[in-house]
């Protein structure tokens, strides 16, 4: 009876020894600041300039309306008590109309900018995801994590610059922006 028990113990020890010799594969991890990688691409920077050019006439119009409103306000203040009731009413009506026009212009502009920005970011993010996958497969990474969800990582694990460089190589920018729908996120005009 002791022999089968001893045999079981020997088999258990042998199994443990064999499994301990087969070390578990170490997971290879990289990190990326996906937002930074996308915004640093030549394509996004190119599209940012295209968007500024596309929306410049409308932003100029908004600035002119704002200047007109300011001018009307100054006229009303300077002419307080000096203007006829009709002249004051006319200036107030004109100021109200220009404020309404400015508000509509700004709302329409913001909606168009947001739509264009979301379109370009969606497309660029999809392209960047494919680039990151390619880097991960080529480099043997088991996992790539966005730095936005990472508390700590060694700088050597960061592939952000590599991803941006590969994106620029895969999607080179040539000439001025060709379509009106290609606009850039986060431009100064987008903030209006």
Tally of residues, the chain: 192
More confident residue, 26 or 91: 91
Separation between Cα atoms, residue 153 and residue 178, nearest integer Å: 40
Separation between Cα atoms, residue 33 and residue 93, nearest integer Å: 51
Residues in Cβ contact with 18 at an 8 Å cutoff, skipping those fewer than 6 apart: none
Give the count of beta carbons closer than 10 Å to the beta carbon of residue 102.
18
pTM score of the predicted model: 0.68
φ and ψ of 13, to 5 deg: -65, -40
Separation between Cα atoms, residue 73 and residue 39, nearest integer Å: 41
Q: Cα angle at 174 between 173 and 179, to 5 degrees?
A: 85
What domains sit in the chain, N to C, each tagged with a CATH number? 22-191 (3.30.910.20)
Residues 87-93, mean pLDDT to the nearest whole number:
91
Instruction: Output the average pLDDT for the chain.
Output: 84
pLDDT reported for residue 83:
86
Separation between Cα atoms, residue 103 and residue 97, nearest integer Å: 10
Residues in Cβ contact with 66 at an 8 Å cutoff, skipping those fewer than 6 apart: 102
Residues 77-92, mean pLDDT to the nearest whole number:
88
pLDDT reported for residue 13:
52
Closest alpha carbon to 190 in 64, 55, 44, 20: 55
Burial class (CB in 10 A: 0-12, 13-18, 19+), 125: middle
Asked whether the predicted pLDDT for residue 179 surpasses 50, the reply is no
Portion of the chain with pLDDT greater than 90, in percent: 67
């Amino acid at each position: 009876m002791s022999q089968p028990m001893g045999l079981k113990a020997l088999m258990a020890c042998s199994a443990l020894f064999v499994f301990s010799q087969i070390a578990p594969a170490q997971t290879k991890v990289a990190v990326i600041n996906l937002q930074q990688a996308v915004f640093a691409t030549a394509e996004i920077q190119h599209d940012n300039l295209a968007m500024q050019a596309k929306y410049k006439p409308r932003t100029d119009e908004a600035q002119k309306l704002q200047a007109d409103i300011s001018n009307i306000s100054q006229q009303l203040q300077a002419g307080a008590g000096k203007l006829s009731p009709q002249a004051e009413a006319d200036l107030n009506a004109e100021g109200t109309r220009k404020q309404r026009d400015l508000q509509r212009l700004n709302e329409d502009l913001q909606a168009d900018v947001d739509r264009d920005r979301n379109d370009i970011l969606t497309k660029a993010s999809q392209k960047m995801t494919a680039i990151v996958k390619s880097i991960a497969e080529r480099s043997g990474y088991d996992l790539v994590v966005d730095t936005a969800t990472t508390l700590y990582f060694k700088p050597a694990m960061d592939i952000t610059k590599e991803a941006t460089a590969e994106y620029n190589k895969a999607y080179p920018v040539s000439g001025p922006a060709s379509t009106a729908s290609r606009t850039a996120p986060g431009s100064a005009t987008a903030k209006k």
